Structure 1
Amino acid sequence: MKLGVYNAILHDLSLDEALDEVVKLELDGIEVNSGGFLPPKHLPIDEILSSDAVAKDYLKRFEDRGLEILGLNCNGNPLNPDPAIGPDDADDIRRSIRAAAALGQKRVVTMSGLPGSDPDARYPAWNINAWGSHALDSLEWQWDRASEFWTEIDELARQNDVKVALELHPQNLVFNPATARRLVDRIGATNIGVELDASHLFWQQMDPVACVRWLGPLVYHAAAKDVRINRENAEIHGVLDERFRRLGPEEPRTHMGGDEYANEWPQDSAWDFVTVGIGHDADYWAEFLRALAETEKATGEEMCVNIEHEDTSMGAIEGLELASRTLFDAAQRAGLR
């Protein structure tokens, strides 16, 4: 089992500077962003796709430091009905699969995406708690669109000997273990499975350890990312909290493609992303790693567990240092290091 970091938190640094920080953390490598919501800051993907020599030189920068590339990450919405977003995100997934093959990688992390509610929709629509018949009508239409796209991607991944790991992320058609298995079964996928990001399961009140064991060999990859439930706020607002604020063009904001930007998190939030070890202690993370090790042993394929840092109360390096210490402690408790 490899322990690493998803590089988005280090995008303010050059690739070489980011790699040097990972060496200091004594981690095994980096999961590299390759497109989607975020630009591929540390990956010259066009050059790699067109030149074996560039790919070889790129890999050498990792090898010279004793590091590895621990997957490519291309999170976006390939099913977005906005023509300025969906097609680009879909193409980024295709390019990421080909780039992974060029770099000798076996994993591309992404999201299932979310279509509009119907053929005329302008925006993605997340149908949950579908007690009305129209919601089920919409879901059937959405699953048909997703099946068409992911059948194509499954074939491309198979041709390139790459596994595509879908992050179970709300506001996607695939957001929990059951919807992941539904997609795989519906299209007979051979190269599509799950990236088990614990954080989004935590706030949905699921148990990531139980989810790993329920999914078994469909878990291809994992993210170490923690959540703290703020009970006094959650008791009033619940975890499906829509009190986000639109940021103005004069404020720093994260571009998500087309004319879409991320909104500001609620001030008195029901839950927050926190550094690994703050929401759940090393004993919990040890059990999480044990469950992943069971899958690793059953499939014979090496598992990568990459820290994703989104704790706004801590700086990038400070958060990665705490998360790394927690994971190393957990790995020792689990008998994996």
Structure 2
Amino acid sequence: MKLGVFTVLFSEKSFEQMLDDVAAAGLDAVELGTGGYPGNAHCDPDVLLEDEGKLKAFKKAVEDRGLMIGSLSCHGNPLTPDTAFAKESRELFQKTVKLAEKLEVPVINCFSGTPGDHEGAKYPNWPVAPWPNEYREVMEWQWKEKIIPYWKEAGQFAKDHQVKVALELHGGFSVHTPATLLRLREEVGEVIGANLDPSHLWWQGIDPVAAIKILGRENAIHHFHAKDTYIDPEQVNMHGLTDMQSYANLQDRSWIFRTVGYGHSMQEWTNMISALRQFGYDYVVSIEHEDAMMSIEEGFQKAVENLKPIIIREQPAEAWWV
């Protein structure tokens, strides 16, 4: 395995300074945002796709520091009823796929998107209860008319360019659980897999180790985000796990994002890393820092310090004891 970081947290730094700092921290890989929600501070597809010289210099800058580009990320909502943002998200997806192919990056990360509840909808609709029955009817309409048709086309586009699509299992989007990921994968093919982020599984009540086993058996984990979540039992009793308060409301929320090891024990993180190895994932563990209780540098450094000792880097030895 390799240890990397989603560099959106260093967006205020220049590309070269960011790479220097990542290399100095002893990491192996960078995950670069190409637009959408993460922005494109370090990786603008329009620039790199149009200028072969800049593309080569870009790649060389990474490689000269002993780093690799583990993934490109273009999180948006290609299914939203907001036609302008949907168009932007779809075009960004295609540009990111093309750029990944040119950079020889095997995977891109994004969201599945969330449609509206009918053709004339104004906003996305994320139904999460089977009753009253109209909620389930909305969900089935979304899958049949929007989700599956779009991703069949987008998945084929990615496959044609030798790039895998890692969908982040994130609440608020149609693909947010192992079951919804596998449903889409069955329709679209193995080009679709998970960007498995345990922080979003914990607050949904999903055990990340169990999710790794479920998806790993299907070879359906394409990427992994290292981010933690602290769940406050007292506030869960007040607000439930679908807490709609601002992430900035740290004292009253039922859960908040934390850096690695500050929401769950390092034993749980060790169990996840071991499960990844056990079920076939041997790629980048990419740190995502969204801990509102720590500075960028402190949150990043603590994640690095906690993950370095538990990453399994080497291939296992033959079972000589058998």
- TM-score tier by shorter-chain length is over 0.9
Encode CA deviations 1:95-144: one digit per residue, 9 max, x unaligned. Answer: 11111001111010001000001111100000001222211221122102
Matches within 5 A, 1:258-337: 265=249, 267-296=251-280, 302-331=282-311
The answer for the alignment partner of 1:172 in structure 2 is 173
Q: For residues 43 and 106 of structure 2, what CA distance do their matches in structure 1 show?
A: 16
Q: For residues 219 and 331 of structure 1, what CA distance do their matches in structure 2 show?
A: 17
The answer for the alignment partner of 1:146 in structure 2 is 147
After TM superposition, the score normalised by the length of structure 1 is 0.89
Encode CA deviations 1:271-317: one digit per residue, 9 max, x unaligned. Answer: 010110111222211111112123336xxxx4111000000111111
Q: Which amino acid aligns with 1:287?
A: N
Cα gap change, 1:96 to 1:332, in 2 (>3 Å)? closer
Encode CA deviations 1:73-102: one digit per residue, 9 max, x unaligned. Answer: 111111010122111111111111111001
Q: After the TM superposition, which segments of 4 or more aligned residues of structure 1 sit over 4 Å from their partners?
A: 263-267, 332-336
Q: For residues 222 and 232 of structure 2, what CA distance do their matches in structure 1 show?
A: 31
Cα deviation for residue 236 of structure 1 reads 1.4
The answer for the alignment partner of 1:228 in structure 2 is 230
**Number of residues paired by the alignment?**
313
Given that residues 19 and 62 in structure 1 are in contact (C-alpha distance below 8 angstroms), is that contact kept between their aligned partners in structure 2?
yes
Which sections of structure 2, spanning at least 5 residues, go unmatched? 317-322
Cα deviation for residue 15 of structure 1 reads 0.9
Which sections of structure 1, spanning at least 5 residues, go unmatched? 245-262
Q: For residues 172 and 330 of structure 1, what CA distance do their matches in structure 2 show?
A: 31
Matches within 5 A, 1:30-69: 30-69=30-69
Encode CA deviations 1:203-249: one digit per residue, 9 max, x unaligned. Answer: 111111110110110011100000000122112111111234xxxxx
The answer for the alignment partner of 1:257 in structure 2 is none
Q: For residues 107 and 84 of structure 2, what CA distance do their matches in structure 1 show?
A: 27
Q: Which amino acid aligns with 1:114?
A: T
Given that residues 129 and 136 in structure 2 are in contact (C-alpha distance below 8 angstroms), is that contact kept between their aligned partners in structure 1?
no
Cα deviation for residue 267 of structure 1 reads 4.6
Encode CA deviations 1:181-211: one digit per residue, 9 max, x unaligned. Answer: 0111123x13111110010001111111110
The answer for the alignment partner of 1:190 in structure 2 is 190
The answer for the alignment partner of 2:105 in structure 1 is 105
| Structure 2 counterpart SS, 1:84 | helix
Q: For residues 329 and 224 of structure 1, what CA distance do their matches in structure 2 show?
A: 14
Given that residues 6 and 30 in structure 1 are in contact (C-alpha distance below 8 angstroms), is that contact kept between their aligned partners in structure 2?
yes
The answer for the alignment partner of 1:6 in structure 2 is 6
Q: Which amino acid aligns with 2:7?
A: N
Given that residues 6 and 31 in structure 1 are in contact (C-alpha distance below 8 angstroms), is that contact kept between their aligned partners in structure 2?
yes
Q: Which amino acid aligns with 2:100?
A: A
Q: For residues 184 and 265 of structure 2, what CA distance do their matches in structure 1 show?
A: 33
Given that residues 248 and 292 in structure 2 are in contact (C-alpha distance below 8 angstroms), is that contact kept between their aligned partners in structure 1?
no
Cα deviation for residue 70 of structure 1 reads 1.1
Given that residues 289 and 334 in structure 1 are in contact (C-alpha distance below 8 angstroms), is that contact kept between their aligned partners in structure 2?
no
| Structure 2 counterpart SS, 1:122 | coil
Q: For residues 296 and 20 of structure 1, what CA distance do their matches in structure 2 show?
A: 31
The answer for the alignment partner of 2:162 in structure 1 is 161
Cα deviation for residue 266 of structure 1 reads 6.1
After TM superposition, the score normalised by the length of structure 2 is 0.93
Cα gap change, 1:288 to 1:49, in 2 (>3 Å)? same
Q: Which amino acid aligns with 2:140?
A: E
| Structure 1 counterpart SS, 2:311 | helix
Given that residues 36 and 89 in structure 2 are in contact (C-alpha distance below 8 angstroms), is that contact kept between their aligned partners in structure 1?
yes
Q: Which amino acid aligns with 1:163?
A: K
Q: For residues 333 and 221 of structure 1, what CA distance do their matches in structure 2 show?
A: 16
Cα deviation for residue 172 of structure 1 reads 0.5
Cα deviation for residue 334 of structure 1 reads 10
The answer for the alignment partner of 2:203 in structure 1 is 203
